[in-house]
């Protein structure tokens, strides 16, 4: 993984252990970044993911200092796979909130032509959309 975080990594093995199990293992050794990944198995013959995961489409979110493992079980000795990942590494929620408040579009909530002290902030960031609602009413 290339997120300029040397303590964040993923390992994938289906054949090193010479047994009927394989795995994908993630470790997030960063201090505040959150790793999110979508795992795409375009081809997955003769093995399955153990619950609660499904091979068709799964996502993982690993908080700082945490790890996650998905275990696979072989149905036969000979397996085939084609795997790809879409990953995103994001930093503290506080940084996002500050940026959304500063750069986002601010909209006041109005109901029956009465403005309320309720504000909605929206912001696009690349392919992401950010949304924050702030309610200052009593």
Check whether residue 76 and residue 109 sit in a common domain: no
Check whether residue 85 and residue 99 sit in a common domain: no
Task: Give CA–CA dist 54/136, Å, rounded.
Answer: 42
Domain assignment present for residue 56? The answer is yes
Task: Give CA–CA dist 93/44, Å, rounded.
Answer: 36
Q: Which domain does 118 fall in, by range?
A: 93-135
What is the total count of domains within the chain? 2
Check whether residue 50 and residue 115 sit in a common domain: no
Domain assignment present for residue 1? The answer is no
pLDDT, tens digit, for every residue of 41-65?
A: 777 777 888 887 776 667 888 888 8
Phi-psi region of 15 (alpha: psi -120 to 50; beta: other; left: phi over 0): alpha
Q: Which of 72, 90, 108 is the last residue of a domain?
A: 90
Question: Alpha carbon of 113 to those of 34, 102, 108, 109, 136: distances in Å?
Answer: 41, 27, 11, 10, 18
In DSSP notation, 74-136 reads ESSS--EEEEEEEEEEE--HHHHHHHHHHHSEEEEEEETTEEEEEEEEEEEETTEEEEEEEE-
pLDDT, tens digit, for every residue of 65-79?
A: 899 998 988 887 777
Please report the pLDDT score of residue 4 as a whole number: 63
CA 134 to chain centre: 25
Q: The domain spanning residue 77 has which CATH number?
A: 2.60.40
Say how many CA atoms lie within 13 Å of 1 toward its Cβ: 24
Check whether residue 18 and residue 70 sit in a common domain: yes
Domain assignment present for residue 3? The answer is no
pLDDT, tens digit, for every residue of 87-134?
A: 887 766 656 677 788 888 999 999 999 999 999 999 887 777 888 888
Check whether residue 39 and residue 52 sit in a common domain: yes
Check whether residue 100 and residue 43 sit in a common domain: no
Check whether residue 34 and residue 60 sit in a common domain: yes
pTM: 0.61
Check whether residue 43 and residue 98 sit in a common domain: no
């Amino acid at each position: 993984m290339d997120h300029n975080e040397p303590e964040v990594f993923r390992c994938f093995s289906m054949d090193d252990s010479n047994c009927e199990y394989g795995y994908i293992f993630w470790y997030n050794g960063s201090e505040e970044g959150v790793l999110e990944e979508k795992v795409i198995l375009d081809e997955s013959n003769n093995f399955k993911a153990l619950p609660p995961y499904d091979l068709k489409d799964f996502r993982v979110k690993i908080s700082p200092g945490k790890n996650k493992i998905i275990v696979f079980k072989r149905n036969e000795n000979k397996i085939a796979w084609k795997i790809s990942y879409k990953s995103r590494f994001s930093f503290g929620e506080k940084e996002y909130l500050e940026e959304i408040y500063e750069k986002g579009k601010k909209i006041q909530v109005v109901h029956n032509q009465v403005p309320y002290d309720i504000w909605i902030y929206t912001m696009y960031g690349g392919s992401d959309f950010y949304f924050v609602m702030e309610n200052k009413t009593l």
